[in-house]
Amino acid sequence: MTQTLSSRRHWRRELSVLLAQSATPATLSPAPCASCWPNRGRSGVMLLEKSEDERKEYISRQLLLYKSQSNSILKFMKGSTNLTSASLSIAHAIPQHGKALSEGEFIKETLLRCAPVLFHDMQNKDAIIKRISELPLSRNIIKDRIMRLNTNIQHQLKRDIRKCKYFSISLDETTDVTSHAQLAIIGRYSDGLTMREELIKLVSVSTSKSGSEICKVVTQTFRDLSIDISKGVSVMTDGAPNMVGEKVGFVKLFTEAIGHPIVPFHCIIHQEALCAKAGFTDLNDLMSVVTKIVNLIAARPLHKREFSALLLEVDSTYSGLLMYNNVRWLSRGKVLERFVECFEEIKVFLDDKDLGNFPQLNNDKWVNTLMFFTDLSVHINELNLKLQGFGKSFDVMFGYIKAFESKVKIFKRDVETKTL
């Protein structure tokens, strides 16, 4: 090994000596400039070096060309970035309003139609229209943008929940338009000094909707997102047996899964709705009469059209009645309010069409009870809407409840003292 290294050093020394001996002024002359080198083959020999001024001029021209090309590339990239950002904004708005993915092409067509009129007095009108025409809003692109937004949101969500020390979740089970059960998992956690409330995921559940199935879905969702469920400290549910059951309820099973006790809550909005439903049991007969009349008019196409024509004839604010849905919490108040607003028109329509005998409509006591029931239902709807919304904390919602209780006491006192 030592002999090999020694021979290599000896060979390098001999090569250096030979190169030094063979060096001539021609070989030691400066290398030709970039402009001379491509022309070396024309005369068969290297061209002489150029003057310093010619070199500077050539370098200046090359720098200007480079800057021009760079500016063109940067301008193209900036325009492309702006188009991408604009398409992301539109892709974000489309699902927010429940629109189809193909609405992007409709938006683009609408913009192109109104742009010549909207920007006719602007000097860069053609540039604006050209930029709109380049906007990528096809169905596939909108789908891709939405997927990218979803990936980004999931990344931020996982990052923030991993950083927080504790979090709480809220579960809301509902049915979609295809009659499949969907479970919304909503998380609340602290992001530094700010409380965040985000939808973690919307997942499908089986038709059984048992506590064990819901617990399995929730724990698997957190596992897929790589979120430590042991950070959970509280759970809010609707108070159904499959959620709060003593042995196989979700809260019991989820507590066992995370390994420490948690604080369960019953949704305060759901409690308010149940209280309102239980408090009006004495008025069920009145509500059944209203529902029967509404269905008689609104559920039949012919009667619905004729009643709408009557409302139009008397210059009514409304065009028809609202159907009652016992599942929707706000439905009763809205139906009663519309019924009272169109009360006289309803009486006239029923008499003209001879659609049944409803003596209650001419009973002053029944009508007074209807008005009272309607006013109270409207106030309850207002309370329900106040309790809903993003970022409502428990103390704020509790304050709304206590304020409503005080309002009811005032109503009761006014009724007893006959004070309007």
Alpha-carbon span 18 to 15, nearest angstrom? 5
In 3D space, the residue among 57, 58, 56, 52 whose CA is nearest the CA of residue 35 turns out to be 58
Q: What percent of the chain has pLDDT over 90?
A: 7
Strand blocks (E) in 238-356: 263-266
Give the pLDDT of residue 109: 92
CB 297 within 8 A of CB 346: yes
Both tokens of residue 361? Answer: 């409509």
Give the residue from 279, 288, 270 showing the smallest Cα distance to 408.
Answer: 279
User: pLDDT tens for residues 227-271?
Assistant: 888 888 999 888 888 888 888 889 999 999 888 899 998 888 888
147 CB-side CA count, 13 A = 6
The pLDDT score that the predictor gives to residue 113 is 92
What lies within 8 Å, CB to CB, of 393 at 6+ separation is 195
Which residue ranges of the chain lie beneath pLDDT 70? 1-56, 58, 62-63, 65-80, 207, 326-329, 420
In sequence order, the 6+-apart residues with CB closer than 8 A to the CB of 294 are 321, 322, 323, 324, 335, 339
Say what the pLDDT of residue 350 is.
84
What φ, ψ does residue 34 adopt, rounded to 5°?
-65, -30
Phi, psi angle pair for 47, to nearest 5°: -75, 155
What 3-state class would DSSP assign to 195? strand
Q: No. of H helices and E strands in the chain?
A: 17, 5
Count of Cβ atoms closer than 10 Å to residue 117 Cβ: 7
Place of tokens 């159904």: 240
How much is the pLDDT for 32?
52
| 3-state percent helix, strand, coil for the chain, nearest multiple of 5 | 65, 10, 25
* 357: enclosing H helix or E strand: none
Going across the sheet that includes 232-237, the strands are: 194-204, 181-191, 167-175, 232-237, 263-266
Is beta strand 232-237 parallel, antiparallel or unpaired with respect to 167-175?
Answer: parallel
Distances (CA, A) of 85 to 107, 118, 148, 155, 314: 16, 22, 12, 19, 51
Prediction pTM value: 0.64
416, two tokens: 């007893």
